[in-house]
Amino acid sequence: MNTEEFNDEINVVIEKLVYGGYALARYAGKIYMVKNAYPGEFIKIVPKQVNKNLIFADLKEVIQPSPQRVNTQCSHFPNCGGCQWLDYDYNAQIEAKTEIIKEQLTRIGKIDNSLVRNTIGSDIKYGYRNRMEFAFQNYRSLKLGLKKADSNEVLDIKKCPISPNPFDNIKNRFKDLVEKLELQIYNPKSKKGILKHLVLRRSFSKNQNMIILVTHTEYLPYENEIKQFFKKNFHPYSLIHLMNSSDKIVLRGPYRTLLGEGVLLEEFDNFTFQIPPISFFQNNYNVTDKLLKSIVSYLKDKVNNQATLLDLYSGVGLFSIYLSPLFKHIEAVENSKISVKAAISNSHINSINNIRFILANSKKYLQNNVSKKFDFAIVDPPRKGLENKEIELLSSAIKKSLIYVSCDPSTLARDLKSFVEKGFNIKIVQPFDMFPHSYHIESVAILEK
């Protein structure tokens, strides 16, 4: 396609949804990718950009909408990058996620997609997120909200349907205080200013809120006024000041507790977990509970009282501690000092003494312990998945089964292909809808030697 053709409008029928939040259509032997469209819809698009064999296009008009297209009460959709499918029927979202996992496994991993089970949905479809990262911006006026899709521009969000109700009130009232105090907002281009983010975390089981103020500087102006404001209006379980000079990761850097406790508490089936301000924790309490129970359901018939488990990327010890009654010995490996410290505290809180927590990079741990063998392993790596060396070392360390928890279907498919080449059989791949109204999919793959 020539660039001069880019302004030509064309009519297409959407074939399916694909990973990344796009809908796919074919026209004149070419594949078109467009956002905010759904399977079966007849739409008008304007081609914008060619990337290899794909043509990315903007939606101009929905000529014939899908019966699954529904009304949304959110005034910021679809401009906001927080949701992609907010106006798509929830049951249709669930079905689409199952098909996306199947497509990724087949195309990238060359894996039999009959192993993929139907996606397990979230009982809570709105207000489900236990962490929201709101950004400040002050170019022409003060904004506090989420970024536009494919942009660094912040939308000034008053009400967000996927965040818990208390978050909207905290966010809007604090923005008013920032304006009143004339607090300087950080500018990532000039690297000047103070206030960067307002991060809100919530414990669903304990009904606790943590408020995190992220600044570029080591000091927080009007600290006493801010503390009194939150104490008087919101009685937070925890108020934290996080000093973060990084523009890449929001929750990073030293922090101090201004009010209340330094950690949130979350509970699953009588196991209590302390969650520090900057530690990772699954974002949907309801679905995390289902995910944990599904892993136990698999393991309970496979494990004897002498079995051992290796937990890589173990975080604050969620999997290790929850699974500890099933195993004789567990080694949990994590490279965040704060998360390991929290994991050790969590084991003490729950009176568990069969877990050894190790502060180490996963690959280095495997390289330094090549002679160690474990009956089972569970891994929950970041979005980029595992390195080839990790897969090689992990494969030789496992005697029976591997449980792979993934937040990215494409890297999951790539890694599963490598594990199959190392002698594993994939038993099931179970998707979970950890993020309703978005294209993101959490999956648990179970592999056996």
Helix (H, G, I), strand (E, B) or coil at 60: strand
Residues 6 or more apart whose CB falls under 8 angstroms from that of 268 comprise 205, 288, 289, 292, 318, 322
Whether cis (ω within 30° of 0) applies to the bond prior to 78 is yes
- Least Cα distance to 357 among 387, 375, 393, 333 occurs for 333
Here the tokens at position 202 are: 């919530």
Sign of CA dihedral 367, 369, 370, 374: negative
Whether 398 contacts 74, CB under 8 Å: no
Here the tokens at position 371 are: 């002679």
Sign of CA dihedral 290, 291, 292, 294: positive
The Cα 58–Cα 78 span in angstroms is: 13
Residue located via tokens 């449980």: 403
- The distance of Cα 240 from the centroid of its chain, to the nearest Å, equals 22
Hey, how many other C-beta atoms are within 10 angstroms of the C-beta on 104?
26
Could you tell me whether strands 22-27 and 42-51 are parallel, antiparallel, or unpaired per DSSP bridges?
Answer: unpaired
Max CA separation in the chain (angstroms)? 69
- Interior angle at CA 254, CA 251 and CA 258, nearest 5: 95
Burial class of residue 152, CB neighbours in 10 A (0-12, 13-18, 19+): exposed
- Interior angle at CA 159, CA 184 and CA 163, nearest 5: 95
Active site residue 407: yes
- Least Cα distance to 357 among 393, 386, 318, 385 occurs for 318
Active-site annotation holder among 74, 83, 160, 407: 407
Whether 360 contacts 336, CB under 8 Å: no
Q: Which helix (H) or strand (E) covers residue 107, if one does? A: helix 90-109
Q: Residue 138 forms beta bridges with which residues?
A: 142
The Cα 8–Cα 44 span in angstroms is: 10
Catalytic positions, written as ranges = 407
